Structure 1
Amino acid sequence: MNATALGFLGIMTGRRHGMPPLAEPEFCSHLCRAAPLYGLKVLIFHPEGVAEDGSYVDGYEWRDGQWEPAQAPPPDILYNRCFYRTAREKRAASIALAALSRSLPWSRGLPDKWSVYEILRRSPAAAALLPETVQYSGREALGNMLAWSEYGVFLKPRAGSHGKRTLHAVLLGSRDGGGVKVRGRGSSNEPFQYVFGTLDEGLDWIDRFIGLRRYIIQPYLQLTGRGGQPFDVRVLMQKNGTGVWTLTGMAVRLGARGSLTSNLHGGGTAARARPFLLAEYGRSGEELLEELTRASALLPPLLEASCGRLGELGLDFGIDAGGRIYLLEANSKPGRTVFRLTDDRIAARLAAENPLGYARHLLLTASRDYKLPRGQLRSHGRLISMVPKEDS
């Protein structure tokens, strides 16, 4: 790898079938193509590509319009984009991160959903956005919640993603035969629905479904549009080239009618936020857009204060029929597909390139902190010469 650059950004990602065997290939190729504009070199690699002693990294670089295998020294900045489907994948990533302990993390991660809830509820302004949330403690407590929840309860794994293994449980009235209705998504995001004749049967099944996993419970919110489709609003917050939080883009994610969630991984679609909210809420749509913007600016500093430096956040908001906004989830490894689906080219470009601008900011800040000669950055004992952006 040619080392003539301000610095080296390493992007650690998961595997997929095909060539290259990289998750998020479109995002990765955009990063690589745009990197010279920011004075950066980029290598994409898997956790297994990191040497045991952290002395080198095997991966792929974008060269002459195609992916080529490449080997490089440890990156100056490490951008972790791994999603863990199994305990084995999580362990492999942990080993790789430990081996690359001298690389500066592009961002820290967020803790699980319950911990994020605990952090945000300490702020009165943020607490107003949070649905009531408790931890799953067993079938008896769940039965009590079902008894007073008109629309039932929503259960989701504390460490889950993409809507997998989520459940909606509701008590059925006598006219519907009594018992419990449960619908949800399995570990592969496949939808299912069951009706149990008695409360005990339903609670037993849910308890077995949860097993040893840790879950949280919230009242089921009626977050559907006039057409009956569940929807939420995804807001992407990112730090820019000066290290300042900015709102990159906002879009609505729509689930199929009758679907439990609006996640794109569960078969959802997307729409531009402003036209959708104006159509749904009339004049109040503009006020909702302003409220969403304020809420999105509020949350990143609160999470950073407890979790450490962050580089980007995907914030998912629900809006009920009365126009009340709820924070449904915060994600420190957000996707970007929603902006491509809505043909929001400006947001899509910023979503892909802000990580490069922020990596450059981190490198320049590190250069000042270590008082290196202007135009040089020490990368694990190796001086990298800096060339102007326009000549990269």
Structure 2
Amino acid sequence: MNRKGIMVGIDKKSKNTLYLPSSMKREGLLSAAFGTKVVKCRVSFTQSLEKSALLSEDLFEELMIPHKSRADLLIHEQTVHIGPLIGIYTAGFTSSPLRPLKDRSLFFSKLLSLHEKASGYCFVFGAHQVNWEEGTIQALLYKENGWVRAAVPLPNVVYDRLPSRKTEEVPLLQQTKQRLMNDYQIPWFNPQFFNKWDIHKLLDKNSLTASLLPQSILHPNAETINTLCGLYETVYIKPADGALGAGIYQLTKTDSGFTVKHTNDEKAFSSTHYSDAASFIKAFEENHDPAAFLIQQGIKLIRVRGRPVDFRVHTNKNADGKWTVTAIAAKISGKNSITTHLSNGGEVKTLGELYSDPKERVGIIRNLSKAALTVSRVLNEHIEGFIGEIGFDLGIDHDGKVWMFEANSRPGRSIFSHPKLRSVDYLTKRRNFEYASYLSERSITAPDKLWR
């Protein structure tokens, strides 16, 4: 039995008692749970409660519930589970009471504030906040008056928001994650950043997704540059673990060699001519390890005002664990830029701004959604762990064919700076909490099916 959105409060007159609405009456209930904390107690039913539950003050404190809130009540076997208790895992904490996560404090405060409108409890934590001996976490919560810290039990589910690949590789962060997953069987979703080459290999083997991929080869050298430039007008060299458009080179074959364009660390555009591929590779190797890069076919994308356009498509799992498309936006390349990234001067447009013809717009949405959902399901089937969201960079060529350039397990949110995309920004975040609730419930009621 599951009741959504029950207000959880405190009764100061009783001891070790949980009061539930009479509509939830069930014999044999012996305990209450919050996160991984389970306490034996008396369970009583009363007609005076319809949309709320009350816990005696001592039980409220023993379960380590941080504050009164709206929550879901799930009855399974002989236990009433109050929650879900969702932990957001990250790094980069400070001692500042106003900016405990530096520049990301605002992002996390908005995320936790959004969840306050739903059911359950949500907090931010890192590896140093876990007390293994007591099985608790010194949680960082956000309330109306600002950030507060409180001890809570280990959560029902964890949403991974580690900020970078480098941070993800820190041994302590990895050890903490593995211990919570393996020793406590806590579902952990979005557990890792995607590697471009690993994703390409996986999708290239699948008949449903292979046709979406530009031709790509790992470890570019003079031979592969000559081969691909002989087949395509333009090729790109990209870091396999890159992000935000950094480290990308565009190579175009000319009568006298190659024109190479790229954006440097200062986001300044530069263009260099090389007489042959060997000369470029020699210069490239002075700053990079080619084994960490891939070379990819360039696609003749549709254009707006003469500039290439691609699309960011977000997919999220919903409250039933099913993939849905939650956001689509167009990204127009910046002047002289070789990518559409906003950090390189790109701009975001809604599809309504780009396509005034509703029929054409619906067709674009249908084609992009079909591709994104297909890839989401294939990745979900073949990648270990729980994936809750993916951000895709998709392109459409002059023939109307859809291409997939990248899949990001922790997609950036720069497109949501557009005023008309704020509603879908909210939807993508809400879906993450819906999926967290789904994982929490399944881990309680059907753990064997969840972990198979």
Q: TM-score, normalised by structure 2?
A: 0.72
* Residue in structure 2 matched with residue 205 of structure 1 by the alignment: 283
Q: Greater CA deviation, 100-109 or 18-27?
A: 18-27
Does 284-293 or 188-197 show the bigger shift? 188-197
Q: Which amino acid aligns with 1:160?
A: G
Q: Which runs of 5+ in 1 are unaligned?
A: 372-392
Q: Secondary structure at the match of 1:128?
A: helix
Contact in 1 for aligned 2:225/2:277 (Cα 8 Å):
no
Aligned residue number for residue 244 of structure 1: 322
* Alignment partners' CA distance in 2, 1:141 and 1:300: 30
**Matching residue within 57, 65, 73 for 1:2:** 65
Q: Name which of 88, 96, 105 aligns with 2:176.
A: 96
| Alignment correspondent of 2:198 | 115
1:162 pairs with 241, 244, 249, which one?
Answer: 244
Deviation at 1:117, TM superposition (A): 1.4
Structure 2 distance, partners of 1:250, 1:183, is 28
Report the equivalent of 1:384.
Answer: none
SS at match of 2:319: coil
Structure 2: distance between partners of 1:263 and 1:331? 14
209 and 277 in structure 1: CA distance in 2 versus 1, 3 angstrom threshold: farther
Structure 1 vs Structure 2 CA RMSD: 2.9
Q: Which whole-Å deviations, capped at 9, do the CAs of 1:94-118 have from their partners, x for residues lacking one? A: 2331343323203344641122112
2:112 is the alignment partner of 1:32: yes
Q: Which residue is equivalent to 2:50?
A: none
Aligned equivalents of 2:346, 2:66: Cα separation in 1: 42
Q: Output the amino acid matched with 1:351.
A: T
Corresponding position: 1:131 with 2:194: no
1:286 aligns with 2:349: no
State how far apart, in whole Å, the 1-side matches of 2:361 and 2:447 are.
49
Counterpart residue number, 2:22: none
1:11 to 62, 67, 88: 88
Mapped to 2, the partners of 1:297 and 1:229 lie a distance apart of 27
Change (3 A) 1:272 1:2: same
* 1:145 corresponds to 2:145: no
Of residues 207-216 and 151-160 in structure 1, the stretch that sits farther from structure 2 once superposed is 207-216
Q: Distance in 1 between matches of 2:323 and 2:443?
A: 19
Moved more, 192-201 or 290-299: 192-201
Amino acid across the alignment from 2:237: L
Which residue does 2:8 correspond to in 1?
none
Residue equivalent to 1:375:
none
Q: Secondary structure at the match of 1:261?
A: coil
SS state at 1:160 partner: coil
Q: What is the number of residues matched between the two proteins?
A: 364
Higher strand residue share: 2
Q: Deviations over 1:184-204 (max 9, x none)?
A: 234565543322344432221
> Is the 1:61–1:67 contact (alpha carbons within 8 Å) kept by the matching residues of 2?
yes
Shift of 1:85: 5.4
Higher RCO structure, 1 or 2 (CA under 8 Å, sep 6+): 1
The CA deviation string for residues 266-316 of structure 1, in whole angstroms up to 9 with x for no partner, is 33221102431457xx96443222211211221211111100331111111
Counterpart of 2:376 in structure 1: which amino acid? Answer: P
Q: Please give the secondary structure, in 2, of the residue aligned with 1:344.
A: helix
Q: Distance in 2 between the 1:133 and 1:172 partners?
A: 21
Q: 1:345 aligns with which of 415, 422, 428?
A: 422
The SS at the match of 1:100 is helix
Taking every aligned residue pair, what percent have the same amino acid on both sides?
21
Q: Are the structure 2 counterparts of residues 245 and 57 from structure 1 closer, same or farther at C-alpha, using a change threshold of 3 Å?
A: same
Q: 1:121 to 1:110 in 2, by over 3 A?
A: farther
Which ranges of structure 2 fall in alignment gaps of 5 or more residues? Answer: 1-63, 68-81
* Counterparts of 2:351 and 2:337, CA distance in 1: 20
- The normalised TM-score by structure 1 is 0.82
User: Residues 78 and 122 of structure 1: is their aligned pair in 2 closer, same or farther, counting only changes over 3 Å?
Assistant: same
One-letter code aligned to 2:109: S
